[in-house]
Amino acid sequence: MFSKILVANRGEIACRIIRTARRLGIDTAVTVSEADENSLAARIADEAIPIGPPPAAESYLDIDAVVAAATQCGAEAVHPGYGFLSENAAFARALDAAGVVFVGPPADAIAVMGDKLRAKAVAIDAGVTTVPGTDDPLDDAEAAAKAAKQIGYPVMLKAAAGGGGKGMRVVTAPDDLASAFRSAQNEARSSFGDDRVFIEKFIERPRHIEIQVFADRHGNAVHLGERECSIQRRHQKVIEEAPSPFLDAATRAAMGEQAVALARAVGYHSAGTVEFIVDPNRNFYFLEMNTRLQVEHPVTELVTGLDLVELMLRVAAGEKLPIAQSDVKTKGWAIEGRVYAEDPLRDFLPSIGRLTRYGPPTQSDAIRVDDGVDEGAEITMYYDPMIAKLVGYGPDRQTAAHTLRSALDSYYIRGVNTNLGFLATLVSHPAFLAGEIHTNFIAQEYPDGYALQTPDAATRDLLLAAAAIVHAVGADRAHLYDTADGTWHVSLGDQAEHVRLHRESNIFTVSIDGRSLQLTTEWMPGQPVFRCTLDGDTHTVQVDHVGPYYRLTHGGVSIDAHVLLPRIAELLARMPQKPPPDRSRFLLSPMPGLLTLVAVEVGQGVKAGEELAVVEAMKMENILNAHRDGVVKKIHAAPGDNLAVDQAIMEFE
């Protein structure tokens, strides 16, 4: 086994690799850009090696700098994690030339599988089922239109060197093809330096199910079962689970056999993932092979009991796989949610800033948190905005979902917007709980985008009780005031109730509209998380003071509560309210990013749905369209400008 490795990555995956290496007695160094010099990974590694400025192209993607860091610190091997250089054949070859072991597959396997067209050809030769489509890159939009006509709509344009959902566009009608082809090419060029695009038949209502494979340098190869990754947004996975609620034993075995056959066909060793799309009749088709550790590997680890990073290190050191296919057993169910710094109410745009408060759930046998940040860390514009991966585990799917939902309620993050509420809403959705999911699930269930959730009756009672108790306990400790009969006027959103409290130690009897609830809590003023037991069930409500209000967050609901003495509430209702300013005449940047295109001119008339501008953030193109007909009055920004969130791009008459 190696005595020292370099972790050529950042964030949660760097921390995750470092922890396993430490358990194995391996010293660790980690590469850091100037933006990450004080990161959690830099602090927990034995050594941090600076490799360049914040932009990834000048640091984490700089092969010479990373290889130099490996030789400088005396590392015998480099673990690339995922992303960055993890699937870069030139990087693997450069390490080999420097006498450093690449903790991953052979460079030739990376090169073949990294090119979707070559990968498809190898898959066909290996007897793996593939999707109908073109075998060569498309020369132009006209060639794309011809191929699409032959295949039949809907089709998907895909970057040949792509991954992570970049350079992919679904096209349902001929009129949309030229624009989609241009956008896919631009995004592919920006993300991979390779603008080759090909086309495939788009399988409607598919599931995305992938097989984890593992092979060593001695000819042994196994699969570790499947992960269902069908809950996606813009081709980016949001929720992953193991096993799949859809597969039967026969389909699982067939997919596993094909995945192992593909791994053998390219002389694979190390961890790899063969991704399939599966139609409603359980017909499956090869999508791509990821020649690295996947983001969602924790769900496989929880159900198999295996440490995939440890296996990668052992295989890279020349050891044989310690397991045969017959040894692979799964137990229980694991569901993972990716926690992102993004704003679900603004079409999930990245949210940049400092984590002013950070309180992850307590880890246990049922809850796993893979993070790479702590309080005070900064989410920057330079890297993917994922904060952590949160996994709930249980003996069955319902238990795992409930555990994950509870953990999401207790995950306290402030300073940036997050998708925690959105994740809680998803894992509580009746269709999700029934296993009725597909890759278009989010678009289908939220066609107009995600909006603030309205509390159901049970949630409303919980939040009314929590607001009254938080206020009453805080008021009592401050010796400000209380009410003679324990009654408070609680406004929750646009509805209000009189809530009466009776307290005995930490047990509260809460009366709401003639109904009586028993609530037990140890909450104290100043605590941001209100934990309680209500009629025998345990709940968590996050509490923030926002001016005179309490902002309460629970189960995907975030709502403001105003708690007053009944008489004060009566007087306040008579006060006039100031209307907010009208911003409807402006096109505002929905995120921080680079303005790459302004598609209209002053004086030009536009129609609803027409493209107005393109803002690039995190290497993703975001097309801004007109919400209604109008005439451009003034343009406030030009291509090349770095925009702040809500900065005006143009104004309409």
Residue numbers annotated as active site: 288
Contacts of 183 (CB under 8 A, 6+ apart): 169, 621, 623
The angle formed by the CA atoms of residues 207, 208 and 214, to the nearest 5 degrees, is 140
Residue in 33, 40, 39, 41 with CA at minimum distance from that of residue 7 = 41
- Give dist(CA 498, CA 501) in Å, integer: 10
User: Which long-range contacts link 530-533 to residues 24+ away (Cβ below 8 Å)?
Assistant: 530/466, 530/469, 530/470, 531/410, 532/466
Main-chain dihedrals φ then ψ at residue 175, nearest 5 degrees:
-65, -20
Q: Give the Å distances, CA to CA, from 229 to 76, 129, 185, 578.
A: 34, 19, 26, 47
Helices (H), 509-650: 566-572
- Give dist(CA 572, CA 631) in Å, integer: 42
Structure tokens at 431: 């269709």
Helices (H), 342-417: 397-410
- Give dist(CA 40, CA 360) in Å, integer: 15
Say if residues 289 and 211 touch (Cβ distance below 8 Å): no
Collapse the DSSP code of 534 into the 3-class scheme (helix H, G, I; strand E, B; otherwise coil) and give the result. Answer: strand
The sign one gets for the Cα dihedral 93, 95, 99, 100 is: negative
Structure tokens at 32: 């850091």
Structure tokens at 16: 């995750």
First-last CA distance in the chain: 69
The angle formed by the CA atoms of residues 417, 233 and 255, to the nearest 5 degrees, is 135
- Give dist(CA 474, CA 468) in Å, integer: 10
Stated length of the chain? 653
Strand order in the sheet with 166-171: 166-171, 155-163, 197-201
